[in-house]
Amino acid sequence: MTSGRHEAAPVVLAGLGTALPELTVFNPEIGERLGVSQDWIVQRTGIRSRIRCGEGTTTADLAVGAGAAALESSGEWSVDAVVVATATPDHLMPATAPVVAARLGLAGVAAFDVAAACTGLLYALQVAQGFIRTGAARRVLVIAADRLSHVSDPDDPATAPLFGDGAAAFVVRLGEAGEPGAFGPVVLGSDGRHADALVVPHGQFMQMRGKEVFQHAVTRLVEVSTQAASAAGWSLRDVERFVPHQANARITAAVAQRLGVDRHRVLESIEHLGNTSGASIALTLAHVAAHHRLRAGQRVLLAAFGAGLTWGATTLSWPPLHCVAKRPCAPALMEETR
């Protein structure tokens, strides 16, 4: 995909929605179990609280809530495909996306899952762009939803404080040259040689070699962010807002420093949401938009890193849209939502 083609017919962000579960878990609760102070958790992660699912809330519930919110934000309920990025599907089979599509009243459209861990939203976005550019779809609903707290060992200091649960969704469509909301080329990468640095074995809790993951994350996020900016025809000085995956505040600080991006241009939500996996970038966009820290036309750089190892980045001209936030939707509520 060339930059000229992108400028002639951009894929644009037409809707943004989020869904967060009901339970807020603060540091003292986790620190007491681990035998550490809440300040120790903040210093190591930047997190003061995280939002998690209670019993009975599924990944599909989160995805339905975010999908409904994004469709409402877009002002149009119809799409031609639903792509769900998740590392915590409710079942090995079937995939989560067909269930989500049916609950949204979209039975009959193409629906499938993408598994790329915390980079899942960007992988799914690239798939959606391919559908749109080839004419296979006019509008695509891209959802990232995870419940990583359910695969985290509550007694492991390396992972127990990190993860929150949640979902966020984009509606994307083909736009016109110069239209606000245009995405740039998506740059993706992976290196399975280091897959065991961050892994959830079948039937077990997450295992992470934190120092190794930190080093890879910083290196790859710097590389892919630079590549995505260049692919869009931007310099890093052109970036007005930088939204990295909310993995760890220390990773974000190190990446911003190496990129030369001033801290006031870096947008974060990890302090109160924790690491929400693939949903974190879109959740952060919605969070800061609600606090008026994004203006239409601003140049935004998005970058993520996750298990696999996987990484990705893209650019976005922020559109004048209204973000919608919902709690997870039960099936019986969907007709009311629509």
Q: Is position 275 annotated as part of the catalytic site? A: yes
pLDDT score recorded for residue 333: 33
Of the candidates 47, 144, 133, which has an alpha carbon nearest to the alpha carbon of residue 97?
Answer: 144
**Size (the chain), residues:** 338
Enumerate the β-bridge partners of residue 182: 12
pLDDT tier for residue 335 given thresholds of 50, 70 and 90: very low
Higher-scoring residue by pLDDT: 157, 327: 157
Q: Is position 118 annotated as part of the catalytic site? A: yes
Residue pair 317/180 in contact by the 8 Å Cβ criterion: yes
Quick check: 238 pLDDT over 70? yes
pLDDT score recorded for residue 8: 58
pLDDT score recorded for residue 177: 84
Find all residues with CB under 8 Å of 144, minimum gap 6, and list them.
Answer: 66, 84, 85, 86, 120, 121, 124, 167, 168, 169, 277, 278, 279, 282
53, 118, 323, 329: which is the annotated catalytic residue? Answer: 118
pLDDT tier for residue 332 given thresholds of 50, 70 and 90: very low
Buried b (16+ CB within 10 A) or exposed e, 150-185: ebbeeeebbbbbbbbbbbbbbbbbbbeeeebbbbbb
SS3 240: coil
Give me the chain's average pLDDT, please: 92
Residue pair 15/74 in contact by the 8 Å Cβ criterion: yes
pLDDT tens-digit series, residues 98-149: 999 999 999 999 999 999 999 999 999 999 999 999 999 999 999 999 999 9
**What are 281's two structure tokens?**
């970038």
pLDDT tier for residue 178 given thresholds of 50, 70 and 90: confident
pLDDT tier for residue 292 given thresholds of 50, 70 and 90: confident
pLDDT score recorded for residue 267: 95
pLDDT tier for residue 334 given thresholds of 50, 70 and 90: very low
pLDDT score recorded for residue 291: 83
Place of tokens 């985290």: 152
275, 287, 323, 329: which is the annotated catalytic residue? Answer: 275
Find all residues with CB under 8 Å of 310, minimum gap 6, and list them.
Answer: 116, 117, 118, 119, 123, 188, 189, 190
Instruction: Classify residue 327 as exposed, middle or buried by CB count within 10 Å of its CB (0-12, 13-18, 19+).
Output: middle
pLDDT score recorded for residue 328: 64
245, 248, 323, 329: which is the annotated catalytic residue? Answer: 245
pLDDT tens-digit series, residues 54-80: 988 999 999 999 999 999 999 999 999
pLDDT score recorded for residue 331: 40
pLDDT over 70 percentage in the chain: 94
In terms of DSSP bridges, do strands 198-199 and 207-208 run parallel, antiparallel, or are they unpaired?
antiparallel
Higher-scoring residue by pLDDT: 174, 332: 174
Residue 94 CA: distances (Å) to CA of 58, 100, 203, 290 = 14, 11, 18, 35
Find all residues with CB under 8 Å of 270, minimum gap 6, and list them.
Answer: 45, 46, 47, 246, 247, 248, 249, 252, 280
